[in-house]
A and B are shown apart, each in its own frame.
Chain A
Amino acid sequence: MTILMTLRHLFWLALRREGLLVVQKSSQALQPLLFLTLIMALFPLAISPDQKILATIAAGVIWIAVLLASYLASDAFFAEDWQSGVIEQWRYSPYPLAWWVQIKIVAHWMLYGVSITLMAPLLALLLALPWSQVPILMLTLFIGSGIIAYSNALAAALTLRARSAAVLVLLIALPMQIPVVIFAMAAINLQASGESILAPLAFLGGLWLFSAALLPLAIAMALQIMMTA
């Protein structure tokens, strides 16, 4: 048994691998962020350049754009590991498949979630969101992107062998993300009207824990189905 790494050691090694993969393909990895910024430019053009109008829709628009960008990234979430046989290796490793999945999602969250959170002030600036709302926007984006990562990964795993997976990913992941959007926007709106934001934030945190605890098991099961059935 001593030959086996501890799960924690494995975690850091696999995390490093994910990081290296992203650095190697940095132009590909940056695409969602670029996409996010491009969408931002559309709203003032399509709706109105008026700062007052923009400020009222800014938080919601940023949240929608983040969701759309996350679908863009998740379409190929498992695809490369699947094609190169890495997932097959996971299956035959002495560690549970769900743990590998968990690591991959956490790595993804640390890269995209954090970069999106850090980008939020810039996006807020573009859409004239009041500065007082920026911290809460960043907080909801940080927690929310963690939840989004799990449901997108499930959709990506279920559609691994599907034809025309792009829309299907959206169809599977979107209903699961409705609560996230609702609670995130509730927190932002409540804060804007000066009320307590504890309740929606508690729900967001609860959703995150719930997804982190249960969804890797479902995702591992989906991968197992794709490999064996």
Chain B
Amino acid sequence: MATNDANKNWRVVFKRWFHQWASPRFFFEKTASWLPFLSGMAIVLLGIGWGWGLFWAPPDYQQGNSFRLIYLHVPAASVALSIYALMAMFSLVSLVWKIKLADTWAQSCVMSGVLFTFIALMTGAFWGKPTWGTWWQWDARLTSMLVLEFLFIGVMVLRTAIEGREAANKAAALLAVVGIVNLPIIKFSVNWWNTLHQGATFKLTEKPPMPAEMWVPLLIALLGIYFLFAAFWLLETRLLILQREGKSQWLQRWMMTRYCIDNKDKDKF
């Protein structure tokens, strides 16, 4: 019985936590101070990772200095994939539990996804030129990345093209969920079709196939870019909340106290 009670308690706590965070007001007020921390972490980590990687890490014995693109390319590609998964997860939550804020979270993933996928593609092209001798190679990973970009753009364009905000948001959420089911299939088929790219740099079970002076800054840059995304994401979510909840009283009061403290009418709020 005791375990049952504990179980129930845990569930109540979780439920409350879940519902609190699903409220735009709670989210908006709680995260007000997060942005400086996230962007500060991003700047520090990226500064260390890129500075170390670009200036102090030893050049590669085969690729020379051009390998240093890894410090932008790999983090961007990695975060782009994570963003799609995150977007699909938020979309699923918004479709199943009809939580409006989850949809806002999903929407604020899209632009960063497009951006980071684009960076990964561009740096891949710049890297491919000295390494493979060509800007673009129809290799499995490049092709999947291109498809990922199409998937992001599809979600983004669909949301703007549909009339009626609710229908647009739900349709985009559904497309994101369908996309995440499709992504492994596409990835597998493209791999089956052609592969030339080197394998993943980090595997959980093995030591990275490069010296520590090379992969430690990469790991730091990787963390940094996740913080950068988190900062972008939070900023966009807060902007969207401002847009969507602009008419609600708590938000107007918040804006009053923040920006119009001298206003004579502030008692009204």
Indicate the member of A159, A168, A214, A225 with the most B CB atoms within 10 Å. A225
Q: Is the CB of B166 within 8 A of A172?
A: no
**B150→A165 contact, CB < 8 A:** no
Asked if B158 contacts A182 (CB within 8 A), the reply is no
Does A8 make an interface contact (CB < 8 A)?
A: no
Contact, CB under 8 Å: A179 / B185: yes
Q: How far is the CB of A209 from chain B (nearest CB, A)?
A: 13
Cα separation A214 to B179 with both chains bound (whole Å): 13
Tell whether, in the assembled complex, residue B182 and residue A182 are in contact, meaning their CB atoms are under 8 Å apart: no
| Stretch from B58-66, B120-128, B186-194, B259-267 forming part of the interface with A | B186-194
**Chain A interface mostly:** helix
Are A178 and B190 in contact (CB-based, < 8 A)?
yes
A50 to chain B, nearest CB (A): 24
Question: How many of chain A's residues have a CB under 8 angstroms from any CB in B?
Answer: 28
Interface string of B174-208 (1 = CB under 8 A from A): 11011101100110111011000000000000000
In this complex, the interface size class of chain B, counting residues with CB under 8 Å from chain A, is 20 to 34
A159 touches B158 (CB 8 A): yes
B158 A162 Cβ-Cβ under 8 A? yes
- Annotate B154-181 by CB proximity to A: 1 below 8 A, 0 otherwise: 1001100111101100110011011101
Query: A191-229: contact bitstring with B at CB < 8 Å (1 yes, 0 no)?
Result: 000000000000100010000001000100110011001
Given that A171-B153, A174-B150, A229-B164 are known contacts, is A222 also in contact with B171, CB under 8 Å in the complex?
yes
B48 within 8 A of A: no
Is B147 close to A, CB under 8 A?
yes
Considering the chains assembled together, what is the distance between the CA atoms of A175 and B150 in angstroms? 7
For the complex, what is the distance from the CA of A222 to the CA of B175, rounded to whole Å?
9
CB contacts (< 8 Å) of A159 on chain B: these are 158, 161-162
Asked if B231 is at the interface of the complex by the 8 Å CB criterion, the answer is no
In the complex, which residues of chain A have a beta carbon less than 8 angstroms from the beta carbon of B102? Answer: none
Q: Tell me the bound Cα distance from A221 to B185 in angstroms.
A: 22
Contact (A158, B175) CB under 8 Å given A163-B161, A175-B150, A176-B182: yes
Please give, as numbers and ranges, the residues of chain A lying within 8 Å of B214 by CB-CB distance. Answer: none
B186 touches A162 (CB 8 A): no
B190 touches A161 (CB 8 A): no
Q: Is the CB of A175 within 8 A of B151?
A: yes
Across the interface, which residues of A come within 8 angstroms of B154, CB to CB? 168, 171-172, 175
Q: Is the CB of A171 within 8 A of B150?
A: yes
A71 within 8 A of B: no
CB of B151 within 8 A of CB of A161, answer no
Contact present for B171 and A158 (CB under 8 Å)? yes
Chain B residues contacting A207 (CB-CB under 8 Å) are 185
> In the complex, what residues of B have CB within 8 A of residue A172's CB?
154, 158, 175
Smallest beta-carbon distance B263→chain A, Å:
38
Measuring CB to CB, which residues of chain B are less than 8 angstroms from any residue of chain A? 147, 150-151, 153-154, 157-158, 161-164, 166-167, 170-171, 174-175, 177-179, 181-182, 185-186, 188-190, 192-193
Please, could you name 15 A-B residue pairs with CB atoms under 8 Å apart, sorted by A?
A158-B175, A162-B158, A168-B157, A171-B153, A175-B182, A175-B186, A176-B182, A179-B188, A182-B189, A182-B190, A186-B193, A203-B189, A225-B171, A229-B164, A229-B167
> Which 6 pairs show the lowest CB-CB distances between chains A and B?
A179-B189, A229-B167, A162-B161, A229-B166, A225-B170, A171-B154
